[in-house]
Structure 1
Amino acid sequence: MKSYLAAALQMTSLPDLQKNLVQAEELIDLAVRRGAELVSLPENFSFLGEEKDKIAQAEEIAQQSEKFLKTMAQRFQVTIVGGGFPVPEDSGKVYNTALLVDPTGTEQARYKKVHLFDVNLPDGNTYQESSTVMAGTTLPPVYPSEHLGNIGLSVCYDVRFPELYRHLSYKGAEVLFVPAAFTAYTGKDHWQVLLQARAIENTCYVIAPAQTGRHYAMRHSHGHAMIIDPWGVILADAGDRPGVAIAEIEPSRIEQVRRQMPSLLHRVFV
């Protein structure tokens, strides 16, 4: 593993696949021009609309999203993490799927979101992800990269389940991804503190690309795509507008923090 720049993209995705892919390409181009070698896109980067519309277009969204990620990785010669996006399965539902693609355009890791967001919020919004999404049944993978470190995948609501990230760190993860479309209501109180907690307790970098702003009807995302170091220090924050958060990932920083706070070595229950 070497030091390198990573980017967490922040988007305002809409119920329009092609517009979203254009926006994503522009932000990837911006991140690469600023030196990023590892680029991440938020949950629902390719489509964020009504559930019925997502299901109706799921086949096209899945095909176009996967093709887009592989094309962008190869064109810009970077590693890309994108997701989730809907991938149809036999029951008529979809898997909320995150994909990691290397600079050759080859898929290296895939994760189907395990924790589904079924929540009634006090702001009047009700979310029932399980109405259209099938939960994954396996723990997320850790992808070992000689240059980028060991990369662990997750998606959005997973961030509230620390046991998932403890599994990733147990499997050797050094960089944790949390692509998200965090709601504005919960994000203002929970987004930053949850990301910092996952970084601190696992002494890992956390890279969290995010959705921001209003997407349709009442759907409004918090924003603040972030990159956080293993001590919990916020290295980059994209604020509340579309853009890019970029920061350096340093193996020496991981080693330093793990020497100073060797909590992973002191685990009693694994």
Structure 2
Amino acid sequence: MTPFAIAGVQMYVHALESNVAGMLQRLDILMTRFPWTQMVLFSELAPFGPLDQFALPPENETLEIFQAAALKHRIWLIPGSLFLKDPEDGRVYNTSVVINPEGEIIRRYAKMFPFRPYEAGIAAGTDFCVFDVPEVGRFGLSICYDMWFPETTRQLSSQGVEVLLHPVLTGTTDRDAELAIARATAVQFQCYVIDVNGLGAGGIGKSCVVDPTSMVLHQSGGQEDMFPIEIDLSMVRRQRETGMKGLGQVLKSFRDRSTDFSIYDRNSGTDAYLNTLGPLEVPQQGSRAGLFVDVPAQRVPDVPAFKGHDATPGFTQPQPEFAPEPLANETAGTAAIHAHAPAAVPAVPTAATPNPHVKPGTLAGTGEPSSG
């Protein structure tokens, strides 16, 4: 058994003010209540919210504050993510950092798939994030929309990642779909998924922890939540060797595949269909994009009231009156009913000879004793 305790913090995030002090306060409370926690993960963009106007330089005081907090509590700390601006080209990246218990930043990861077209102006990262926790196992990091592209997790799991840390900021109606993807990712790549969402400007909650069999070990509601949970990385290793419940060994099957996928060769032409889908842009009101047949709305014609007459919408024209036709013979179909006196019921005649008296113990008409 290889146990390791990870806690997610689902907290309310403000969009127009710093949330750093609130994060530190919740971290102190968490470590006081659950001192056995070894790693803490916050939601995407938790420190300053979803507006890139608060982008910071790569080296800044906020990161130093988080480094001090990790050292204070002797924990691995991933403080969600924050917008960092490259001083050379001015591009802004949605960046997460991994801080070890010594307070050192050991990895930086820039989100590979910004939520375009809605996250316009955010640059995409190109490097994967993999790191080892000594004597525990290998961890990987992806941010929110990254997980919608299974190639990202395929790359991480092929490099030996056993636990996928996934800070998200989802406040939209697709959160349930995202939870389904989290479960599918866990079982498809036989790893743990630690998925932490925020509240308020940081999302609608429903954070979750999923094990390699796709079982949900914990799911938050729509309120603040701090959820430490102990996972067992030996379960990952066992399942990757023998399959989920002794069944599918998907990583081995992919390793032993008999084909490579030309879709990943941009020069193969296999993805020609994708070029017919139009630009990546926000839909506009009344958009008919993707509808190949433009059929205008049609008014259903009114049906004539009766044969020989034109249609009259709403029957605005006067309608003919119908009078009942009199019967030629008012007595037709009727018959006189005569009353009859009920027939007399004949009286039942009495027996000419009454039944003879039978003495007890004798057979009737014989005088012989009965056998009873």
Note whether the superposition's TM-score is higher than 0.5: yes
In structure 1, what is the equivalent of residue 29 of structure 2? 30
Whole-Å Cα distance in 2 between the matches of residues 99 and 177 of structure 1? 12
Compute the displacement of 1:60 (Å): 7.1
Aligned partners of 2:93 and 2:125 also within 8 Å: yes
From 225, 235, 258, the equivalent of 1:243 is: 225
Matched, 1:172 2:160: yes
From 195, 198, 211, the equivalent of 2:198 is: 211
Matched, 1:150 2:148: no
Amino acid in the other structure paired with 2:92: V
In structure 1, what is the equivalent of residue 186 of structure 2? 199
C-alpha distance after superposition, 1:210-257 (max 9, x if no partner): 112x32xxxx72211111111111112221112212211102221332
In structure 2, what is the equivalent of residue 12 of structure 1? 12
Distance 1:45 1:61, change over 3 A: farther
Matched, 1:231 2:232: no
Question: Per the alignment, in what secondary structure is the counterpart of residue 221 of structure 1?
Answer: coil
Whole-Å Cα distance in 1 between the matches of residues 58 and 133 of structure 2? 28
Aligned partners of 1:79 and 1:102 also within 8 Å: yes
Identity, in percent, stands at 27
TM-score by length of 1: 0.85
Aligned partners of 1:95 and 1:135 also within 8 Å: yes
Aligned partners of 2:58 and 2:85 also within 8 Å: no
Which structure is higher in RCO with an 8 Å CA cutoff and minimum separation 6? Answer: 1
Point out where structure 1 has 5 or more consecutive residues left out of the alignment.
120-126
Higher strand content, 1 or 2 = 1
Question: Per the alignment, in what secondary structure is the counterpart of residue 56 of structure 2?
Answer: helix
From 115, 122, 130, the equivalent of 2:120 is: 130
Aligned partners of 2:57 and 2:84 also within 8 Å: no
Compute the displacement of 1:184 (Å): 2.9
In structure 2, what is the equivalent of residue 141 of structure 1? 129
Q: How many residues align?
A: 249
Aligned partners of 2:190 and 2:213 also within 8 Å: yes
Whole-Å Cα distance in 2 between the matches of residues 256 and 26 of structure 1? 38
Computing the radius of gyration from Cα coordinates, the structure with the larger value is 2
Amino acid in the other structure paired with 2:49: L
C-alpha distance after superposition, 1:23-61 (max 9, x if no partner): 211222233231210110111111115x3xx32x32279
In structure 1, what is the equivalent of residue 89 of structure 2? 91
Whole-Å Cα distance in 2 between the matches of residues 249 and 84 of structure 1? 23
Point out where structure 2 has 5 or more consecutive residues left out of the alignment.
261-372
Question: Per the alignment, in what secondary structure is the counterpart of residue 46 of structure 2?
Answer: coil
Aligned partners of 1:86 and 1:94 also within 8 Å: yes
Compute the displacement of 1:5 (Å): 1.3
Aligned partners of 1:46 and 1:61 also within 8 Å: no
Whole-Å Cα distance in 1 between the matches of residues 58 and 173 of structure 2? 27
Distance 1:180 1:170, change over 3 A: same
Question: Per the alignment, in what secondary structure is the counterpart of residue 160 of structure 2?
Answer: coil
Question: Per the alignment, in what secondary structure is the counterpart of residue 208 of structure 1?
Answer: strand
Compute the displacement of 1:16 (Å): 4.5
Whole-Å Cα distance in 1 between the matches of residues 107 and 57 of structure 2? 21
Aligned partners of 1:81 and 1:99 also within 8 Å: yes
Amino acid in the other structure paired with 2:99: V
Whole-Å Cα distance in 1 between the matches of residues 144 and 5 of structure 2? 22
Whole-Å Cα distance in 2 between the matches of residues 149 and 30 of structure 1? 27
